[in-house]
Structure 1
Amino acid sequence: MSQTVTWLLGLIGLLVLTFLCVSLHASDIEAEMTRRVEAAFAGVPGATAEVSGRDVVLRGSVPTTEAAAEAAWTAWHVPGVRRVHNDLNVTGGAAAEVVSGAGVSPFTLSQAAGALVLRGVVPNGAVRTSLLARVREAFPGREVRDELTLDAGARADWEASLLALLGRIRGVNRPALSIEPGDGGAGGVVVLSGAVPTEADKAEVETAARAAVAAPYTLRSDLIVEDPAIGDQLEVSGSTDADVVAAEEAFREALSIGQIEFASGTNDLTPQSREILDRVAAVLTRFPTVGADVQGHTDAQGGEAANQALSQERAEAVEAYLLAQGVADDALTATGFGEGQPIASNDTADGRARNRRVVFALRRL
């Protein structure tokens, strides 16, 4: 048998083995996804969720458009879901009881691709306007995305506490807030998370936050102490997947030696940046089920179009370097956001330095 034929037979065998491994693994992923979605929708009346791979299709009837939106939101927040198709039928009638039945927080503040995102259900436009205004006041210059829905039957006895709290967490990096229900339906727990640079900062923020939250609500602090140079480069996914959680911790260690930088006005990585990315590549190789979205950002100096192009080129330069170190192609995406998602003021040199950044957002493959 010729060497060429032997090589072809070996290649065919390898392809068959790869197909079998992927097929078996896909079956396991779909089974796990089905389990997670069924658990999430156990208390959602009127809606059913069908799982295909990592996609979810919502079917059934709900009484209001707000209920349909909340069902979709519940599906989106199941770890691992990639796409949600909302085929729910809205029948009209009274306010949806899905708001409390699904165990969905009436308000959350989280971060996505550099933007601060408000989600939940509020009773009227006045509450929505107050929350949006206070978030913008607390985090000037940040993009704020409104994904709140209205339902006249929703509770808002937490509004005063949240408005006071938002005024006292300006120094928190990657801020996040949510409300967990209390025992017997009265009050609840306001959960504050994010990062601060020192233990003294943590104690100061927690003292101010506890003073802001009034009965029948209490505060739980999940704040961590973290060098801003690390937090600015890692977007916390909020995933409960064990591999993603472990990979995020490994990323923090990899990024602890500095910030990814480029020669001024170019997409040429500095020597220290290549050293950091060598560590990042090692993490992604160690966790083959975890991928990373590479996000490029600039400060506001220069033209908007030029900054958009530069941020994309820098994100792609990081992606190319990681691929050259052996990271799988399907584990990476690269997106430039230009100057549009600052995390600090562009009026100071320190703020502009923080805004010139590459961010890694981890996800389960």
Structure 2
Amino acid sequence: MRGLFRWSGKWWPGIIPLLILWGFAAWVSTAPLENDLSARSAAALKSAVLDRTKIAVDGRDVSLGAYAFSEEGRRDALALVAAVPGVRLVDDETRLVAEAKPFVWSAERDVVRVTLGGNAPLPAVKAKLSEAARSALKGVEVADQMALARGAPLRFEDAALLLIGQIGKLKDGKFTISDGDIALTGMARELGGRESLALALKDLPEGFKIASNEVKAPPYIFQAYKDPVAVTVTLSGSVPDENIHAVVVGAASRRFFNEKVVDNLKTSLGAPSGFVNAVVPALGALSRLSTGTLAVSDREIKLSGDALYDEAARQIQSGLAKDVPQGWQVKAEISVKPAAAPVDATVCQQLFSDLLGKARIRFETGRADIDRDSAGLLDRLVEIALRCPSANIEVAGHTDAEGEEAANQALSQKRAQAVVDYLVKAGLPADRFTAVGYGSTQPVASNDTGEGRAQNRRIDFLVR
């Protein structure tokens, strides 16, 4: 017996290597099986919509961890893995993606990037929104900070894509969806951007509405610069439409009789109420300056420059505020151009003739009321009269031959007197001027044509 025990003691240590070899063989044969089951389980889940999927295999048992976007999707994922040949048991470690209440999504733009935040309902939607932002704003960085959550309203994707398509209209700002409510904030990139944005969002998907729109428009700018050296008036900035464009350019062409009108205006939405009724009088005020700048920003008018004489400066400063619509602000900084050197009567007459050869004083049809378009011309006539302080001047009124002679003579007299009244109001002595009406007795062109009759309706200055 003792011999047998001694033999058994020698045998026992020899079985340990056998056990190790057996365990290694079992491991070697199991690892490929587990890897195969893991790969086939992952392939089976390709059609499933999951987030953060994890698959672990122990023998023929599969542990599935994932976040599903619905209870049905979660059950389907488990069934797909269970149906993989060779899988014996599926350990369910799946969860539902958290539900967002309210479901909030946002697109925010700053100077350098667009940030997509809040929640997206599915990974594919999340990727689609990011790609749409990159496509809409080529060259602009897109930061995807969206999380995944359940609870998106119906047609969320359509609403978010529509907003992303409009983000380029913002200089900076933010679009936010909260369930079905949409909030807009920021500054539009261009004039009319706010209105264009509102128009584009009129056809939101069903169930969505604009809860607030606080997108601001950039200042609506109109400018005019009178350059006495280049003898130009340059118009720049914006006008609301082509009709008002024509009105503004036409008003400038009538009032700036001696300057070339350079039209650099463009048509843009977003003009403040009363735009044309403010800009046209402001152009009239600018026409009375020897040099000057007009800047209109939203409902604020700034006019600066040199008037031709003291009374003109006072009239422009006090009169413009009365001429523009209520609610508009006027800031006028008007100085007076230094007086030109005196001239003798002969030079004075030549200056009057040259000036009235370029433009004619206009009156309302059939009346003696001076058209406001002629204010700049009248101020030039005042400036010349100031240069010949000792000269007596006859202001002669003429009409065409249409109508009765007596009526024409009376009208011409009244129009000549209206011009004298303007000169006197400007500060010139009344005893230097005589108003004479000649009716149609001194034509300078044929009364048989419209052009000829227009030339005959005139005011002449005669130095006596």
Same fold, judged at TM 0.5 (above)? no
Higher RCO, 1 or 2 (CA under 8 Å, sep at least 6)? 1
For the pair shown, which has the larger CA radius of gyration, 1 or 2?
2
Q: What's the TM-score once normalised by structure 1's chain length?
A: 0.32
Q: What's the TM-score once normalised by structure 2's chain length?
A: 0.25
